[in-house]
């Protein structure tokens, strides 16, 4: 459920004190759209001033987010996501595939590299202090990227990093009350026939923080993180909290441009490594084998279909129609509908329905 922070919506401002003294900004997003929030994060990265430190807090509705070099067909059940309205997003940073919903709280620590360096451990301590002071939850840093709870070291937070000459970014998520069944439903598909050079997701045991403290929620957690952040940097100037909404897209062209990128299918599907997908099935009307090769642009570059079915022309038309199309469920449906219009018999049309239903379970 969406909520309203107590902070007023204010105009973004750029104020400075002394040349080298950092100015800290705390920004909330009132949108739960993953593409908007990733676009906001990128826009803040591109426009950060030399003395700025930024804490950005946000939350996403149902989505699967893959790392920059990951293969969505390998990491996600794309057809299930499409049926259930789960958005696919690709971030610019590395790391594995994650599922998010309103049971997650997302954070971004962003600094200019002009005079300062990002301290990942300090950022983690800010998060841990917020949990301890406001919710009596004692977590620990584990490894390079994770925060864990209890003797079993159950993971409740993962992070990723991005560094450029201009800025350093540390972002991640705190798992508060995520639908763990959805994680299993939308992530980690059958990989038996999929050959990829992408980055595998890392499975880890996780815990919802609400299991430790039922009173924890996104709004109060954000306010606790803000308070911890303000105390940590109390000797510096910290501006009043700011709120960004989807309406901001109409006011800031650069932000809108980033949103168009993250929502674009070529970015979400088209940055994958080359892979081969092969599958075979026996139907009452015959056996069919399909081999698809897709390249970095997410298009089907090569398609071979072998079958002992009697309708040779239908098989050839389907193969020709698939080449050059995006390897997505929606595109497969359109190709099958196109092929049905090109065949003559009801039997062929029924066979195409069988093939369509089968392919959609494989991608």
Across 26-48, average pLDDT? 96
DSSP state of 234: T
Residues 225 and 295 occupy one common structural domain: no
Residues 160 and 258 occupy one common structural domain: yes
More confident residue, 61 or 249: 61
Q: Is residue 92 part of a domain?
A: yes
CA distances from 331 to 75, 79, 363 (A): 19, 11, 12
Q: Is residue 344 part of a domain?
A: yes
Question: Which stretch of 106-110, 164-168, 274-278, 358-362 has the lowest confidence by average pLDDT?
Answer: 274-278
User: Under a CB-based contact definition with an 8 Å cutoff, are residues 110 and 45 in contact?
Assistant: yes
Q: Using CA atoms, how far apart are residues 174 and 57, in angstroms rounded to an integer?
A: 11
Residues 163 and 86 occupy one common structural domain: yes
Residue 227, pLDDT score: 97
Across 47-57, average pLDDT? 94
Rounded to the nearest 10°, the torsion over CA 227, 232, 235, 239 is: -40
Q: Confidence band (pLDDT; 50, 70, 90) for 136?
A: very high
Structurally, how many domains does the chain consist of?
2
For residue 257, the domain's CATH number is 3.30.930.10
Q: Domain ends where: 269, 295, 323?
A: 269
Instruction: Please determine, for residue 242, whether its predicted confidence score (pLDDT) is greater than 90.
Output: yes
Across 124-144, average pLDDT? 96
Which residues on neighbouring strands pair with residue 289, listed in sequence order?
280, 306
Residues 114 and 259 occupy one common structural domain: yes
Residues 258 and 288 occupy one common structural domain: no
Residue 161, pLDDT score: 80
The segment with the largest mean pLDDT, out of 11-25, 186-200, 256-270, is 256-270
Residues 156 and 209 occupy one common structural domain: yes
Q: Domain ends where: 224, 247, 269?
A: 269
Residue 139, pLDDT score: 97
Contact partners, residue 92, CB within 8 Å, separation at least 6 = 42, 68, 162
Q: Is residue 1 part of a domain?
A: no
Residues 236 and 286 occupy one common structural domain: no
In terms of residue numbers, what domain contains 244? 23-269
Q: Confidence band (pLDDT; 50, 70, 90) for 10?
A: very low
Across 149-175, average pLDDT? 90
> What is the rounded average pLDDT for all residues in the chain?
86
Q: Above pLDDT 70, what percent of the chain?
A: 87
Q: Is residue 36 part of a domain?
A: yes
Residue 340, pLDDT score: 96
Q: Is residue 11 part of a domain?
A: no
For residue 280, the domain's CATH number is 3.30.390.50
Residues 282 and 251 occupy one common structural domain: no
Q: Collapsing DSSP states into helix, strand and coil, what is residue 261?
A: helix
Q: Is residue 172 part of a domain?
A: yes
pLDDT tens digits for range 301-354: 999 898 888 888 899 999 999 999 999 889 999 999 999 999 989 999 999 999
Residue 68, pLDDT score: 76
Residue 36 has φ and ψ, to the nearest 5°, of -65, -45
Residues 290 and 185 occupy one common structural domain: no
Q: Using CA atoms, how far apart are residues 42 and 166, in angstroms rounded to an integer?
A: 12
Q: Domain ends where: 269, 292, 315?
A: 269
Q: Is residue 14 part of a domain?
A: no
Instruction: Please determine, for residue 203, whether its predicted confidence score (pLDDT) is greater than 60.
Output: no
Instruction: Please determine, for residue 149, whether its predicted confidence score (pLDDT) is greater than 50.
Output: yes
Q: Above pLDDT 90, what percent of the chain?
A: 59
Instruction: Please determine, for residue 197, whether its predicted confidence score (pLDDT) is greater than 80.
Output: no
Across 140-168, average pLDDT? 89
pTM here is: 0.75
Q: Is residue 9 part of a domain?
A: no
Instruction: Please determine, for residue 115, whether its predicted confidence score (pLDDT) is greater than 90.
Output: no
Q: Using CA atoms, how far apart are residues 199 and 313, in angstroms rounded to an integer?
A: 39
Q: Confidence band (pLDDT; 50, 70, 90) for 72?
A: confident
């Amino acid at each position: 459920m969406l909520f309203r922070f107590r902070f007023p919506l204010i105009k973004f401002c750029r104020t400075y004190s002394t040349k080298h003294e950092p100015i800290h900004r705390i920004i909330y997003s009132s949108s739960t759209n993953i593409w908007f929030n990733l676009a906001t994060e990128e826009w803040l990265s591109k426009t950060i001033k030399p003395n700025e430190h930024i804490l950005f807090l946000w939350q996403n509705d149902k989505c699967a987010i893959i790392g920059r070099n990951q293969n969505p067909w390998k990491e996600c059940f794309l057809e299930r996501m499409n049926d259930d309205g789960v958005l696919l997003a690709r971030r610019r940073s590395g790391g594995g595939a994650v599922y998010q919903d309103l049971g997650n709280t997302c954070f971004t620590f962003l600094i200019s590299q002009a005079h300062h360096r990002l301290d990942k451990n300090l950022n983690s301590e800010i998060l841990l202090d917020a949990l301890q002071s406001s919710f009596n939850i004692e977590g620990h840093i584990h490894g390079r990227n994770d925060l864990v709870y209890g003797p079993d070291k159950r993971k409740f937070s993962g992070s990723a990093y991005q560094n450029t000459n201009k800025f350093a970014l540390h972002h991640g998520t705190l798992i508060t009350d995520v639908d763990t069944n959805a994680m299993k439903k939308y992530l980690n598909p059958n990989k038996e026939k999929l050959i990829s050079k992408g980055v595998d997701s890392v499975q880890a045991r996780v815990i919802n923080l609400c299991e430790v403290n039922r009173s924890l929620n996104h709004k109060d957690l954000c306010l606790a993180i803000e308070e911890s952040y303000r105390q940590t940097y109390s000797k510096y100037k910290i501006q009043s909290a700011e709120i960004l909404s989807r309406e901001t897209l109409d006011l800031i062209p650069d932000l809108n441009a980033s949103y168009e990128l993250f929502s674009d299918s070529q970015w979400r599907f088209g940055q994958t490594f080359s892979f081969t997908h092969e599958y075979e099935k026996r139907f009452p009307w015959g056996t069919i084998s399909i081999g698809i090769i897709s390249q970095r642009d997410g298009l089907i570059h090569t398609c071979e279909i072998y079958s002992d079915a009697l309708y040779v022309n239908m098989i050839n038309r389907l193969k020709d129609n698939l080449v050059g199309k995006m390897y997505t469920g929606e595109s497969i449906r359109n190709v099958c509908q196109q092929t049905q219009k090109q065949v003559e018999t009801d039997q062929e049309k029924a066979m195409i329905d069988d093939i369509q239903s089968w392919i959609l379970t494989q991608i």
